[in-house]
Amino acid sequence: MPAFTPGEARGLSRLRATSGLGFLLAAAFAGCTAPGPVELARRADAAHKTSVFSWLVAHDPSALVAWGVQASEVRAIVPDSHVSAASAYPCAQAKAAHAVLLIVAAANRPERERAEDCGFALARDAGAIVVAPL
C-alpha cells in the first residue's frame, strides 16, 4: 500500500515547489536592505554638490535647522538629531533651539552670507554651510 494517495502526492509536490520558490525569493531579497546614513549622506552630497552631509554623519549634531533642503532628507542622514525645517528667520530659530544651522544653497549667495554672519562656520564648501549660531 503506497504511503500517499495520488492526490496527496500532488499536494506535497506543490508544497515543495512553493517552499522552494519562497526560498529563492528570500535569497533574492536578502541583499536588499535600506541604505544606511553614510550611504544616504554620500547620495545627498552628490545630489547637492556638497560634502556637508558626510560632515553631519561624522559629527551627529543633537539639533539642526535645515534651510534649502527637505528636513526629512536630513533626518534620514542623522536619525538621532532633532531636525527642524527653517522658518523665515533661520538664525534666530537655530539660536533658540540650541541647534546648528544647515544652509544648502549653492546659488543663493545672500543666504550664505547671512549664515556666515549668524555664527561660527563648522563646515562649508561651494554647495552648503553648517553654522553654530552665536
Q: In the prediction, which pLDDT does 108 show? A: 67
What is the band of 35 on the pLDDT scale with cuts at 50, 70, 90?
A: confident
Q: In the prediction, which pLDDT does 97 show? A: 96
**3-state SS, one letter per residue, for the chain:** CCCCCHHHHHHHHHHHHHHHHHHHHHHHHCCCCCCCHHHHHHHHHHHHCCCHHHHHHHHCCCEEEEECCCHHHHHHHCCCCEEEECCCCHHHHHHHHCCEEEEECCCCHHHHHHHHHHEEEEEECCCEEEEEEC
Q: Where are the domains of the chain?
A: 1-33, 37-133
* pLDDT greater at residue 23 or residue 127: 127
Q: Does residue 101 contact residue 133 with C-beta atoms inside 8 Å? A: yes
What is the band of 18 on the pLDDT scale with cuts at 50, 70, 90?
A: very low
Average pLDDT over residues 89-98: 94
Average pLDDT over residues 38-42: 84
Number of Cβ within 10 Å of residue 70's Cβ equals 13
What confidence tens digit (pLDDT) does each residue in 64-85 have? 999 989 999 999 999 999 999 9
Q: Does residue 57 contact residue 77 with C-beta atoms inside 8 Å? A: yes
- What is the average pLDDT score of the chain? 80
Is the pLDDT at 29 greater than 70? The verdict is no
